[in-house]
Amino acid sequence: MSATTTSAPFSRAVVRAMQKLYPKELADNSWDNTGLLLEAPFDPSRRQSNTALLTIDLTKAVADEAIALNSSIVIAYHPIIFRGLKSLTLADTQQQSLLRLASHGISVYSPHTALDAAPGGLGDWLADIVTGTKTVHNGSEADAQLEPASNTKEDDDPFIEKKKRPTFTLQHHPSQPLLHFGKQPTPAEIPLTAPHKRETIKPQSPALASHPGAGMGRIVKFDQPQPLPTLLDRIGKGLNNPKGFPIAIPQEKAIVDIEIRSVGICAGSGSGLLNGLDVDLLFTGEMDHHSALAAIENGRVVISLFHSNSERGFLAEVMLWQLEEAVQEEWGKIRDEEKDNEALQDALADDDFEIAVSEIDRDPYGIVVLKSDADAA
């Protein structure tokens, strides 16, 4: 009789917690692929630490990070498997990451659009940013200007023509916010809260009694019109001071002349959900060229943050704390259920665990800032 094959007990606790917080029923299952995408077998002789690593994209660098941390499971927001696979080989970089993680006993779970739709999920986080109601746990946002994650110098980069001017600096949005633990925010760091009403663009159907108000996208309707510069300030603070983000406005308008009464919100790629919405501002990760043109031709404003930069901050600011509480409960249940399983005694002995946010994960796009001769001198 062969031994029962199972995943690590801690991984199972994390999966239960994810399914409780962001049920698969909330995902757009007509095209999305959510849930446990890789279930790595548990080896008692070489067990992982009780660590879950949160990331938006599961790249080779993030896989290295998970292995270095001896993680039990990776929570990757974007599914690394979207379509059916006929083979798993090392020739494909994504499959290579999956195979490497499996060989180290590390599972992979993806919530994707279930996280978008959940009450208190990504849609509400972006709505909190634009309304100035975002909550930061255990500290406040850094008031210092963020340092660039990397610099591209023309002498070192073969893709930049060798000239003395201009100088290029490549800025990447950080994978985590800078937090000053124990420091109270100054008034200048706190965006003014805007009274508003909030609704879902595409309500969950059928509704889940456990998750009232779930659904894709959010619409914010302000009680009083908001100057666009005020919203830009809120968004900048809410995103922890990025170097910049794209904005499209009607050609006959200037930013200082525009007031916003309503906002349509969608994390990631918002063209499909936001097209045709009767609001003043479309707030999303990315929007295709022609949809953006149509929006400004109809007098609307578009703010796009780069696809995954509209999602990444949620991991450290909200999901980590939600998951810690849920895992605490599920880990206690697993330990109680398996207490008589002799093969798992060592794995169940440790009450402690860690939910970590990737320090490597970042959007593939950064912003190249051209410095003038005077700036470079």
What's the pLDDT tens digit per position in 104-140? 999 999 999 999 999 999 999 999 999 999 876 554 3
Torsion (CA) 83, 315, 240, 376 in degrees, nearest 10: -50
Per-residue pLDDT tens over the stretch 261-301: 999 999 999 889 998 899 999 999 999 999 999 999 999 99
Residue 36's DSSP bridge partners are: 109
Q: What is the pLDDT of residues 150-198, one digit of tens each?
A: 333 444 443 334 444 445 555 566 665 544 334 444 445 545 789 999 9
Looking at per-residue pLDDT, the higher value among 259 and 376 belongs to 259
Instruction: Quick: pLDDT tens for 93-107.
Output: 899 999 999 999 999
CA 16 to mean position of chain CA atoms = 20
Q: Would the pLDDT of 373 be above 70?
A: no
pLDDT per residue over 34-87, tens digit each? Answer: 999 999 999 888 888 999 999 999 999 999 999 999 999 999 999 999 888 888
pLDDT at 375: 63
pLDDT at residue 129 in the model = 95
Average pLDDT estimate for 304-317: 91
Q: Is the pLDDT of residue 147 over 60?
A: no
- Assign 3-class secondary structure to the chain: CCCCCCCCHHHHHHHHHHHHHCCHHHCCCCCCCCEEEECCCCCHHHCCCCEEEEECCCCHHHHHHHHHCCCCEEEECCCCCCCCCCCCCCCCHHHHHHHHHHHCCCEEEECCHHHHHCCCCHHHHHHHHHHCCCCCCCCEECCCCCCCCCCCCCCCCCCCCCCCCCEEEEECCCCCCCEECCCCCCHHHCCCCCCEEEEEEEECCCCCCCCCCCEEEEEEEEEEEEEHHHHHHHHHHHCCCCCCCCEECCCCCCHHHCEEEEEEEEEEECHHHHCCCCCCEEEEEECCHHHHHHHHHCCCEEEECCHHHHCHHHHHHHHHHHHHHHHHHHHHHHHHHCCCCHHHHHHHCCCCCEEEECCCCCCCCCEEEEECHHHHC
- Per-residue pLDDT at 248 exceeds 60: yes
- Any idea of the CA torsion for 196, 226, 272, 287, to the nearest 10 degrees? -140
| 150 CB neighbour count, 10 Å cutoff | 10
Cα 293 to chain centroid distance, Å, stands at 27
The pLDDT score that the predictor gives to residue 82 is 87
For the stretch 311-370, pLDDT in tens is: 999 999 999 999 999 999 999 999 999 988 988 888 898 899 999 999 999 989 888 878
Each residue's pLDDT tens digit, 226-238: 999 999 999 999 9
Burial class of residue 364 in the structure, from the number of CB atoms within 10 Å of its CB (0-12 exposed, 13-18 middle, 19+ buried): exposed
Q: What is the pLDDT of residue 164?
A: 45
